[in-house]
Structure formats: C-alpha cells, structure tokens
Amino acid sequence: MTVLGLSRFQFAMTTVFHFFFVPLTIGLAFTVAVMETIYVVKRKYIYKRMAQFWGKIFLLGFAVGVVTGIIQEFQFGMNWSNYSRFMGDIFGAPLAIEALLAFFMESTFIGVWMFTWNRFKPGVHVIFIWLTWFGSTCSAIWILAANSFMQNPVGYGINKKTGHAEMTNFAAVISNPQLWREFPHIATGALMLGGMVVVGMSAFGFMHKNADRAFFNRSIRVGAIIALIGSILVIITGDLQTLEIIKDQPMKFAATEGIYEDLKSPAPWMVVGLINEGAHKSAGLEIPGMLSLLAFHKLYGGTIQGMNTLNQQFLGERGKIIKNGIAHPEISNYYVPTNVLFWSFRFMAAVGFAVLILAICTLWFTRKSKNTLADSRWKLWVLGVCTYLPFIGTTGGWLITELGRYPWIVYGLQTIADAVSPTATVTSLLITNIVYFLLFCLMGGVMIFYSRRVLHQGPEPDPQTATQPVTEGSHVGAHAANRKVALA
Amino acid sequence: MTQFLAKPLIDGNNFLQLLWFFVIALVFAIFLFLDGIDFGVGMATRVLAHNGDERALYMRAIGPHWDANEVWLITGGGAMFASFPLWYASLFSGYYLLLFIVLVGLILRGVSFEFASHAVTDRERNVWQWANFAGSVIAPFGLGMMLTSVIQGVPMDAQGNVHAGFFDVVNWLSIVGGVAVVFFSFLHGLHFLSLKLDAKTSERMLNTSKKVYWIAYPALVIFVILAFIFTDFYQRRTKSTLLITVVILAATICGHIATYKKRGGFAFISTGVTLAGIIAFIFNGLFPNVMIATDPSKSLAVSVASSSQYTLEIMTIVLCCLLPIVLIYFIWSYYIQRKRLITDDSPASIKAASVY
C-alpha cells in the first residue's frame, strides 16, 4: 500500500459514490419538475402528489450528494496538492464559478421549494424546482469543464519560471470539444437514470399490499417516457463522444475495445473477450466489420490503431516520461488498465440499451387499452431490480473516463504519480479511506432504507377523493399527521 | 486600466491580488457568520431542547437555509483554489487530518436534517439529532483550530509543503481558538433562534445566552493574550490588529447588553460581528502572507501564491457579474422565511412542515 495507491483508491471511491447521487439529483429534479409542470398545466391533483412524493426521494439523494461533494472539493488540496499547485490556475476557476453560479442556486432554491408549497401559487412554485434542476445541470457543466481540461488540455501555457500551467484563453477552456461531448452524454444519462429510478421504484411500489395503483401507474409512465428519451439521447451522445475520443485519446478508445494490434477496415468488433494485459493480447467473440461501423459510421476507410502501436508511438514522441532529467521510476509504458476499461464499456453500453428496452416494455405493458403490468409480479421484479442498473452504467462511464487517461492526471502534462501530496502518509490515508468507506456504506444503506420506507408509506392520500382516513397500521402516517408546525 | 492592474500597490501585491485576498477573507467571514447560526442551533438542540420534538423545531428553523449557508464554505474553497492555488494546496494538504475531521462533522450534520425527518420512532430520530449535534460541535471547533494554528507559523519546506506535527496543530492557542469559535457560534445560534421562535422560547434563548457570555469572555481574553504570545500580529501589524481586537470585544459586550435588554436582533448582529471579526483578525494578521512558516524566509506570500493575472481578471469579471445576483436571491430566501415559527398544541416535527 503506497500513498499513491491509497490516494487513487480514495479519489475513485469518492467520485464513484458521489456520482451515484449527482445524476440521481439532476434526473429526479427534472422528473419532479415535469410532474409539477403537468400539475400546473392540467391542474390534476395527482400530479402534485407525484411531485411531492418523488420529491422526497430527490431530497434524500440531494442530502447525500451534497455532503460527498464537499469531500470531493477539498480532496484536491488534501491528497493532490502538487496537482493543485500545477493546475490551480486553470482548474480552480471552473470550480469557483460552479459554486457561485450553480451551487448557490441549487441549494437556495431547493430550500425555498421544500418549504413553500403553501406560500406560492403553483405556477410560481414550479419555477423553484426548475431553478434547482437548472442549478445542478450548470454545476455539471463547470465540473466537466475542469475535467475536460484533464482529458484534453487547451487554452493554457506553461510558466517557465514556476513550471505551472497557466490559463491563457478562458474561452478555449470552456469551449473544449471534449466538454461539449462529455456534458450532453452525462446530462442525458442523468435523465435516463432519474426516469429509470422512478420506473423501478414504482414497480416495487405496485407490489406493496396497500399500493395506490393509480398513483404508481401515472408515475411509472412519466418515468418510462423520461427514461426512454434519456436512453435514446444517451446512446447518441455516447456515440458522438466516442468519435471525439478516437481523435483525442486513441489509447482510451483502443483499450475500451481491447485492441492491441492495428485493425484495417472493415474492422471486426469484439463483443466479449479475454484480455491478457501482460502479454498484450486479446481474443474473443467478434462481429465482422462492426467496429468500423461503430467508430467511423462506414465500413471502409480509416484504420484503428492498436495499443501496441500507440505505446510505441508515445514512447517515440515523449520517450519514457521524463521528470527532472531522469526517466520516471514508476512508468515505463503508456498502457492503460485495459480489462477494467473493456468491461466498463460493455456494462455501460449494455445499460443504455437495457433501459431503452425496459422503458419501451413498460410503456407497452401500461398502455391504456390493456394495462397488465401491475398484475404481473415477475415483470415488476425485473423492473424493480433494474432500478440499480443505471448506477452501474454511470460508474462504468467514470472508470473509462478517469482510468483511460492513465498514467496522466492531466493528459500529456502531469502524471498521476507526480500529482500526489508529498506530505501525505500511508497512515493518514488508511484512516481516511476506512472512515470514508464506512461513512459511504452507512449513507448509502440509510438512503436505500429510507427510500424503501417512503415507498411503502406510499403517497399522501388524496384529500379530494380519499374516503378512508390514514390506515391504522401505518404508524408513520399517523406519526406525521399529529405533528405540525404552523407559521404564525 | 491594464497598467493599473499590474502595478504593485501594497507590499508588492497588485490590485487584483489584494482584491482576491480580501474576497477570500470576506467569503470566509460570511461563511462563519451564516453557518455559525447553524452550528449554534445544532448545539442548542442538546443544551436547551427538552425533547425530540423541540429539537426538530430548532432544526426546522434553519432547515431552509443551512444548505445555502454551507455553500459559502464551498465557494471559499473554490475561490481559494482559483485565486491562490498554492495556498489551497499547502493549507489543506498540511492540515490533512484536522480538515478530514471537519469534513466528517459536516457530513454527519449535512445528512442529519433529511434523515431525521424520515425517522419513525423517537429513538431513531434521536440518532440523527445526535449526529446533527456532533457535527455542529466538531466542525466549528476543527475550523477554529485550523484557522488559529495557521497563524502561529508552521514548518514548511521551500516547495510550500507543510510538515505540521501534532503540536503544531494542537496547542494552547488553537484549542482556545477552537473553543472561542464554538462558543460564539453557540451564542449566535441562540440569538438566531430567539428571532425565529415564539416569545416564550425566545426569552429562554436569551436567558441562556446571558450566562454563556460569561464563558465566552474568558475564552476571548485568553485568546487575545495567547495570540499576543504565539503570533507576531501585535508587533508586525499593531494598529489594525488592535483595532480589530477592540471591535471584537466591543461587539461582544454590546451583544451581552442586548441580551439583558431582550433585543435579540441586536445581539444577533453583535455575535455575527464577533465571528466575522475573528476572520478579519486572522486574515489581517496573515497579510502579506497567506501561510506563515516557522522559517520566515519560506512563508508563502500573497504575491507568490496567487494565480496568474489573466485568471484573476477572469475571476473578477465572473464575481462582479454573479455575486450581486446570488446575494439578491440569497437574501430573498431569508426574507420569505422571516416569520416566527410557532408550535400548535401538538408537538412539532420537521416532517410535517417540510413538504406540506
């Protein structure tokens, strides 16, 4: 266990955990906003109940997302101080703008939205949730602007005196082509995730004995439509992003496809395969010509470079990574962790298509003329378990993005090994890793536990149509009902 | 214009570097002013509240705001990263474990609001209310310790890496500093609650804070004495340091008098000034450095730690455009929640008030 290894593990753990909740917040905020907007337009009370009910899940996710985000921000200084020194000039600006432009908006209006259901007209109140969604989406743009620079540095110069990177063109930093491929993919992925969570949770909701069927039926359809649109868009944007990556980070692309030797068109696509990272060889089930279609959208023209070629090319261009006049001790080649990338990509892509199919099926089985979903237990179970699917997809996405730039922390400019804090110790990193891990398990567990409870409590009964009072058995409902804070 | 921006004004720092040093100080002062409320309210939940429902009512009082208040810390961190990356790197890597403890405190507190509102039994709710209390004590104490151990001079190497040993972080000044921040946050929270709750509770808050002041005074006086011994603030920056000390003391006394006169609003402003004054004291003393090393030649100066002129220009434009907008809706969000909370006959819960 080295400082570098532990720091990398900590960063990966925090990013992955934080990124369960970021798309959940963005996606659910959007879903809730759509529901509340329908309420404003149609004035059907059920949509207000839907917005309030799914809003509870959204708020739970938001709470966990916020606190993990704080760790993320300070981690750059704590664990990666040399990176912060090298890159702060460029990396800090988007981060500060994110706080000013996005995070203030998000956290102010979420507070306003939560506490003002009775204070504002529906048409005004709905604006607050849209602003919350807008804030969280903006925040994604700025964080990704910073991340895109790490993938594809633009608009900078190296200060000869300090050796630090300095921003020379702000417009270039925020118009980084990498950013405008990464952001749409993530924003639409968040919509897909938000929609799928509503679909999956509604499926579980149907199975509860006191389920409000009409309520969950309406919810599952809204969720499925959002998941459907989201999954179509996420596949398109993912494709566009890949085209960019083939140009900017060919090594990353080659690794996601497990290509060691150059491939001439029409290149076959390896669906699944075994990769031997040590021997630099891979073999598996292949579809002829498919990779050329995926990568270039045509069968002929274009060669795909393999990792062996790219490694030789990088070694030739940059030599071994040189630091202070000597070859870098820890890095002797430019290969990336191929197995992780290969399988992450397959899981991610599979999730995208799976959600697409699930969403279509959901809409089909809940169609007006013949609504059979709620009575088919196995279908509900499949949908319910699939709540977790998109989270696997987002994790795969981050692993590809971040491990794919190995050994660089900033592509071509600074290695991960050079970025770590010189003062960090194995002891302190072990302590923090263990505590964070336990905290994440606790928060994730409690989040799932309370989401489940919210689901089983069900939505608040509709006062216009409700004939029966809160059920005796529902302790929670009774508990909530006899406690009130009034505004004087 | 560009000539003026590049010209050194004070101690070799040009206008934008001075501006951003001031902005960072201001953001941290606002953070302590606002989140001091939340920390103090969190502490009050254990010290004053009689039962879980009262605790929930206190937490409800800051429910709509704590989140946005904490964003000032995130903004402070981000702004520091953007305008003084070397400071950001040295400070947070050097105070690794202390900052980690603060973060754990903030995490516990951050999730407790939402989780407590989902609890079914009083026992379960109590767990999250304890988490809220623990976070509300740990975070200001840790931050107070960090701020006050920074000003004493820490062992740094030429690259700006801080090699702080245990006693560099934990010593008399930093402990008293931490305690002082905790107590003033507590007072600040009590004063805020006296403005947010019904007349009877409000009176109870002020009566308690009357007594707490007698603990806060010694903490403050000892802090001033220790700062005189452990730092060179009073020697190096005599006038300004004395002035800020007087302001802090005067604000504290005013706040105390206000509690006797049952003027909650006035007392609230006073403790706020004291908290902001602590930040002013520290930043004023640090200048023209951002980190003071035990070997003065290795201290990190504002002019060295800052990012490039271009980045500072961009950040200044962004700040001037966005801050006014942020302030408008931020203040508006307080304004619409200005009414006092009262409980009806049945006991209170955040749950009842949060969504409906």
Terminal Cα-to-Cα distance of chain B (whole angstroms): 54
C-alpha–C-alpha distance, residues A352 and A84, integer Å: 35
* A231: its two tokens: 């999954």
Residues ≥6 apart with Cβ < 8 Å to A423 = A81, B93, B94, B96, B161, B162, B163
| Per-residue pLDDT at A322 | 57
Residues in chain B: 356
Please check the confidence at residue A487 and state whether its pLDDT lies above 60.
no
Q: Given phi > 0 = left and psi -120 to 50 = alpha, else beta, which region is B160?
A: left
DSSP label at residue A163: -
CA-to-CA separations, B72 to A145, B36, B78, in angstroms, rounded = 21, 12, 10
Residues 93-112 of B with CB under 8 A from A: 93-94, 96-97, 99-100, 103-104, 106-107, 110-111
B331 close contact with A: CB closer than 8 A = no
Nearest residue of B to residue A431 by CA position? B97
Q: Strand locations in A141-253, DSSP E?
A: 156-158, 165-167
How many of the other CB atoms lie within 10 Å of CB of B220? Answer: 22
* B338: its two tokens: 């200005």
Residues ≥6 apart with Cβ < 8 Å to B63 = A111, A114, A115, B113, B350, B353, B354
Query: Cα B186 from chain centroid?
Result: 12
pLDDT tens figures, A387-415 = 999 999 999 999 999 999 888 899 888 88
Inter-chain CB proximity B67 and A107 less than 8 Å: yes
Cα angle B348, B351, B354; round to 5 = 105
**Chain A CB contacts of B73 below 8 Å:** 70
CB A119 within 8 A of CB B336: yes
Nearest residue of A to residue B75 by CA position? A99
Instruction: Return the closest-CA partner of residue B346 out of A488, A480, A114, A476.
Output: A480
pLDDT tens figures, B258-297 = 999 999 899 999 999 999 999 999 999 998 899 999 988 8
The letter for the amino acid at A153 is P
Please check the confidence at residue B244 and state whether its pLDDT lies above 90.
yes
Buried b / exposed e over A317-329, threshold 16 CB at 10 Å, is: eeeebeeeeeebe
C-alpha–C-alpha distance, residues B42 and B34, integer Å: 13
Return the axis-axis angle of helices B122-150 and B264-286, rounded to nearest 10°.
Answer: 40
pLDDT tens figures, A343-368 = 999 999 999 999 999 999 999 999 98
* B280: its two tokens: 């002013």
Inter-chain CB proximity B88 and A88 less than 8 Å: yes
Instruction: Return the closest-CA partner of residue A457 out of A114, A207, A200, A208.
Output: A208
Please check the confidence at residue A137 and state whether its pLDDT lies above 80.
yes
| Per-residue pLDDT at A321 | 60
Instruction: Give me the phi and psi of A486, to 5 degrees please.
Output: -105, 155
| Per-residue pLDDT at A210 | 81
**Chain A CB contacts of B352 below 8 Å:** 480-481, 483-485
**Chain A CB contacts of B114 below 8 Å:** 59-60, 62-63
Residue of B35, B54, B74, B154 to mutate for A, most A C-beta atoms under 10 A: B74
**Chain B CB contacts of A451 below 8 Å:** none
Please check the confidence at residue A33 and state whether its pLDDT lies above 80.
yes
Q: Which of B71, B81, B354 sits opposite A76 (nearest CB)?
A: B81
Query: Is pLDDT larger for residue B3 or for residue B230?
Result: B230
Please check the confidence at residue A416 and state whether its pLDDT lies above 80.
yes
C-alpha–C-alpha distance, residues A155 and A170, integer Å: 7
The letter for the amino acid at A459 is P
Nearest residue of B to residue A435 by CA position? B104
What is residue A278's three-state secondary structure? Answer: coil
C-alpha–C-alpha distance, residues A261 and A42, integer Å: 59
CA-to-CA separations, B229 to A116, A179, B245, B296, in angstroms, rounded = 52, 52, 15, 17
Inter-chain CB proximity A423 and B161 less than 8 Å: yes
**Chain B CB contacts of A66 below 8 Å:** 67, 70, 110
**Chain A CB contacts of B344 below 8 Å:** 484, 486
Please check the confidence at residue B195 and state whether its pLDDT lies above 90.
yes
Residue tagged 């008098």 (tokens): B257
pLDDT tens figures, B14-65 = 899 999 999 999 999 999 999 999 999 999 999 999 889 999 999 999 988 9
Residues 68-87 of B with CB under 8 A from A: 68, 70-71, 73-75, 77-86
pTM score above 0.95: no
pLDDT tens figures, A218-260 = 999 999 999 999 999 999 999 999 988 998 899 999 999 999 9
Mean pLDDT for B188-204 is: 91
Inter-chain CB proximity B88 and A91 less than 8 Å: no
The letter for the amino acid at B264 is G
Q: Which of B68, B159, B315 sits opposite A107 (nearest CB)?
A: B68
| Per-residue pLDDT at A388 | 94
User: pLDDT above 70 covers what percent of chain B?
Assistant: 96
Inter-chain CB proximity B99 and A74 less than 8 Å: yes
Nearest residue of A to residue B155 by CA position? A423
CB B184 within 8 A of CB B274: yes
CB A404 within 8 A of CB A252: yes
* A430: its two tokens: 């072990």
CB A177 within 8 A of CB A203: no
* A276: its two tokens: 């031997």
Please check the confidence at residue A279 and state whether its pLDDT lies above 90.
no
Mean pLDDT for A458-478 is: 54
**To the nearest whole angstrom, how far is the Cα of A393 from the nearest Cα of chain B?**
26
Nearest residue of B to residue A166 by CA position? B308
**To the nearest whole angstrom, how far is the Cα of B111 from the nearest Cα of chain A?**
5
Inter-chain CB proximity A99 and B74 less than 8 Å: yes
* A118: its two tokens: 């009775």
Q: Which of A63, A70, A168 sits opposite B310 (nearest CB)?
A: A168
Please check the confidence at residue B356 and state whether its pLDDT lies above 90.
no
| Per-residue pLDDT at A265 | 77
Residues 39-58 of B with CB under 8 A from A: 53, 57
B250 close contact with A: CB closer than 8 A = no
Using pLDDT thresholds of 50, 70 and 90, give the confidence band for residue A323.
Answer: low
Chains A and B form CB pairs within 8 A to the count of 269
CB A102 within 8 A of CB A142: yes
Terminal Cα-to-Cα distance of chain A (whole angstroms): 59
CB A332 within 8 A of CB A315: no
Mean pLDDT for B189-215 is: 91
Buried b / exposed e over A241-270, threshold 16 CB at 10 Å, is: bbebbbebbbbbbbbbbbbbeebebbbebb
**To the nearest whole angstrom, how far is the Cα of B311 from the nearest Cα of chain A?**
6
Q: Which of A14-23, A185-194, A205-214, A385-394 has the lowest mean pLDDT?
A: A205-214
Q: Which of A78, A166, A485 sits opposite B96 (nearest CB)?
A: A78
| Per-residue pLDDT at B337 | 86
CB A302 within 8 A of CB A289: no
pLDDT tens figures, A41-75 = 999 999 999 999 999 999 999 999 999 999 999 99
**To the nearest whole angstrom, how far is the Cα of A398 from the nearest Cα of chain B?**
22
Instruction: Return the closest-CA partner of residue B102 out of A425, A17, A432.
Output: A432
| Per-residue pLDDT at A293 | 86
**Chain B CB contacts of A479 below 8 Å:** 120
- ipTM, 2 decimals? 0.91
pLDDT tens figures, A281-311 = 888 888 888 888 888 888 887 788 899 999 8
Please check the confidence at residue A164 and state whether its pLDDT lies above 80.
yes
Inter-chain CB proximity A89 and B308 less than 8 Å: yes
Inter-chain CB proximity B75 and A64 less than 8 Å: no
Q: Given phi > 0 = left and psi -120 to 50 = alpha, else beta, which region is A415?
A: beta
- The 3 state secondary structure assigned to A408-454 is EEECCCEEHHHHCCCCCCHHHHHHHHHHHHHHHHHHHHHHHHHHHHH
Using pLDDT thresholds of 50, 70 and 90, give the confidence band for residue B228.
Answer: very high
The letter for the amino acid at A142 is W
| Per-residue pLDDT at A481 | 39
Nearest residue of A to residue B94 by CA position? A423
- The 3 state secondary structure assigned to A60-102 is HHHHHHHHHHHHHHHHHHHHCHHHHHHHHHHHHHHHHHHHHHH
Please check the confidence at residue A468 and state whether its pLDDT lies above 90.
no
| Per-residue pLDDT at A474 | 38
pLDDT tens figures, B301-351 = 999 999 999 999 999 999 999 999 999 999 999 999 888 887 654 444 443
Within 13 A of A263's CA, how many CA atoms are on the CB side?
Answer: 27
What are the helix (H) ranges across chain B? 2-6, 15-47, 52-62, 66-83, 85-94, 96-118, 122-150, 166-169, 172-196, 199-230, 233-236, 238-260, 264-286, 302-305, 309-335, 350-354
| Omega before A23 within 30 of 0, i.e. cis | no
Using pLDDT thresholds of 50, 70 and 90, give the confidence band for residue A464.
Answer: low
Buried b / exposed e over A196-228, threshold 16 CB at 10 Å, is: bbbbbbbbbbbeeeebbeebbbbbbbbbbbbbb
Cα angle A182, A186, A190; round to 5 = 175
| Per-residue pLDDT at B261 | 92
